[in-house]
Structure 1
């Protein structure tokens, strides 16, 4: 199975979350990668984290977000990062994490996380006005989309089946 390196960075290019995943396919929603149980991820140079359940990740083309879909019994079903559009180069996928996260819990609750970090980083990193506006617009759209639109309803389940 083809391996792909996933690399999230912060606006100052500092390494954020990164891991190796398996290529699962591409459809109208974007590129799907999967990480099986016991896969490893790491934030910057911190200690590695071993995943206890499989998950799949969606990397849409020309969109300002990425999404992680977790297998049961994890309480967070969907975790969306607001990011710059993903760049694909060879077997590496990169993007800039813009702090805002939209989370759908398994019970259907939807929440926005890290709004304080987003506000702080606008000043610290000097986010341009158009980046701030696009990030907020994407976040607002995701709050509704994760509960009402594909691929957040059923499509991702076919990819979870592949990585299990």
Structure 2
């Protein structure tokens, strides 16, 4: 009995699909981690862990520490420390919220927006290419499936 080559889809059973995904996921993660940091950002101590924070700020615009913490699903103190470090490096800016001076609004510094967009572009382009042929319901199911997988690995409830 021959074993299918890694990456070659097998039958349609759940176990076949699990096998396919167990072989695929490490390659996906490995390739995503290898997306190079753009030249304009290489002097900073940035890592793939910063991409989620940058994604929210780039796609959704400036927001508060608490909003970022809720979206990233981490404690506000964790986000605050991360933002403090990135602000000291000049990558992020913090300013007072005009509506409530107790709150701070976080944004990508204008001089680093293009570099961050360049860093996110290969992943965004790959997702657009993979998701474009799907119907909206299929895209939602794909994302929901990944969220359910994440929750199952973490031993938690799926998040919305």
TM-score, shorter chain, exceeding 0.5: no
Q: What is the TM-score of this pair, normalised by structure 2? A: 0.26
TM-score computed with the length of structure 1 as normaliser: 0.26
Flag the structure with larger Rg.
2
* Higher strand residue share: 1
Q: Which has the higher helix share?
A: 2
